[in-house]
Amino acid sequence: MMALVRPQFVLFGDSITEQSLRPGGWGAALADTYSRKADIIVRGYGGYNTRWALFLLNHLFPLSCPTPPVAATIFFGANDAALLGRSNQRQHVPVEEYKENLRKIIDHLKECLSSMLVVLITPPPVDEDGRKEYARSVYGEKAATLPERTNDMTGVYASECVQLAEELHIPCINLWSQMQQTPGWQKKFLSDGLHLTAEGNNVVYKGVLQVFNNAHLCAEEMPYDFPHHSEINGDQPEKVFQQKI
Amino acid sequence: MMALVRPQFVLFGDSITEQSLRPGGWGAALADTYSRKADIIVRGYGGYNTRWALFLLNHLFPLSCPTPPVAATIFFGANDAALLGRSNQRQHVPVEEYKENLRKIIDHLKECLSSMLVVLITPPPVDEDGRKEYARSVYGEKAATLPERTNDMTGVYASECVQLAEELHIPCINLWSQMQQTPGWQKKFLSDGLHLTAEGNNVVYKGVLQVFNNAHLCAEEMPYDFPHHSEINGDQPEKVFQQKI
């Protein structure tokens, strides 16, 4: 089995997606797993909320694209859930709008390719102590005393994300809830109370992989692009390429 | 500064390119470095020589592509240099043909986009003891006693690669020569006498980065795709997108 063109999986989200290409990141791990099977295209935009993400849709996913991605993860909410009246309020998006923005993103992707596997990922939980420590490490005495995000409020956004996935019958990884089932999640999975450690990245990687596997996008079962070298006849190399291409 | 579409850098080669997305790999490191600046597209084909690579050219780099890559690395030779009459002779390509095949690949890429930055990379040196140990670990008593590759013969291929780059005035990373300048290169840079350790990957990463930097493809100087979130006015987010897109 072989393929001529590798399918694309796009990871669309905020900083947690943008940073996924770092060593130990979930995007890097997916790229390795799908080596010669699919291209992992990272479209993560640090600091973005769903309202700002809408401005990118037609550019990142033009409706006229002849080869749209076959799968996409949508991973927003950590910034939408920033609280009003706190240091990051510029990023705040009301929860009802967050849900509707996610719906618009999904509608757009399905319009690109109705069979696209669209996977929602909720924001991870917030460790408020970790955020305070981080703020002190950056701003010292001037650090805001009130957290700019709370775990409870982020949980409200996560819950809307899960509900939307159920409504639309698409898969969803409830990271907010899943991570909190592990004792010590605050330091184990989060590096600064919000972004992911290597172990936190691994939770996302495994979650995405499971959804892809369930949706017949299992790397082991996907064809290589072009013949494995052992299939090439040294004396007549053109044969396998002519047959299969 | 911002860009609407990220430029593509393609890494074209054999297993040493295919494996570059593994943790610590040079492809993964480039993808991280050029995050939000360029997409690193890995097109590595384990076991392939330049003769077989030619069959892929029109598929991987169609001449009609409206957005060809702006840069490409060509990293073949480790398989071409497999010796006749030894266990891997199926992969052998005579050195004159190796050079002409490289020329065809370069010509094709330049036909796609005459301004494309094409970078040649020579095969790494071969640690013959390392290859023997590897063969024994896989085949035990049945392992061939004569090495399937020698460092000297691979050096001949590396030398032709360097000469071609000089002829065509394109940059070349002489990995074969460069690695051997470090005492203990055999185990430091090579995991099985042929493929790269994390440190070996780092040599390739640094070499490619230097060439890219010299060619005005320095990540720090390249624009982000879409505005940095700090440029977005919370009350009028459309402003920066309308201005810049």
Give the nearest chain B residue to A229 (CA atoms). Answer: B47
pLDDT the model gives residue A245: 57
How many angstroms separate the CA atoms of B39 and B242, rounded? 24
Q: How near does any CA of chain B get to the CA of A28, in Å?
A: 7
User: Which CATH number is B141's domain given?
Assistant: 3.40.50.1110
Nearest Cβ partner for A35 among B5, B18, B232: B18
Q: Is the pLDDT of residue A145 over 90?
A: no
How many angstroms separate the CA atoms of B29 and A91, rounded? 30
pLDDT the model gives residue A106: 98
Residue A115's domain spans which residues? 2-244
Active site residue A15: yes
How many angstroms separate the CA atoms of B60 and B113, rounded? 14
| Chain A CB within 8 Å of residue B18 CB | yes
Reported confidence tier of residue A242, pLDDT bands at 50, 70, 90: confident
Reported confidence tier of residue B45, pLDDT bands at 50, 70, 90: very high
| Chain B CB within 8 Å of residue A134 CB | no
Reported confidence tier of residue B155, pLDDT bands at 50, 70, 90: very high
**What stretch of H or E contains A141?**
none
pLDDT the model gives residue A87: 84
Q: How near does any CA of chain A get to the CA of B81, in Å?
A: 14
pLDDT the model gives residue B143: 84
Nearest Cβ partner for B45 among A25, A44, A226: A226
pLDDT the model gives residue B66: 87
| Chain B CB within 8 Å of residue A28 CB | yes
Cross-chain Cβ contact B52/A23 below 8 Å = no
The ipTM value here is 0.95
- Written as six digits, the tokens of A210 are 């499971």
Which residues of chain A does B23 touch, with a Cβ-Cβ cutoff of 8 Å? Answer: 23-24, 28, 32
Cross-chain Cβ contact A234/B90 below 8 Å = yes
Q: How many domains is chain A partitioned into structurally?
A: 1
**Residue whose C-alpha is closest to residue B108's, from B51, B166, B54:** B54
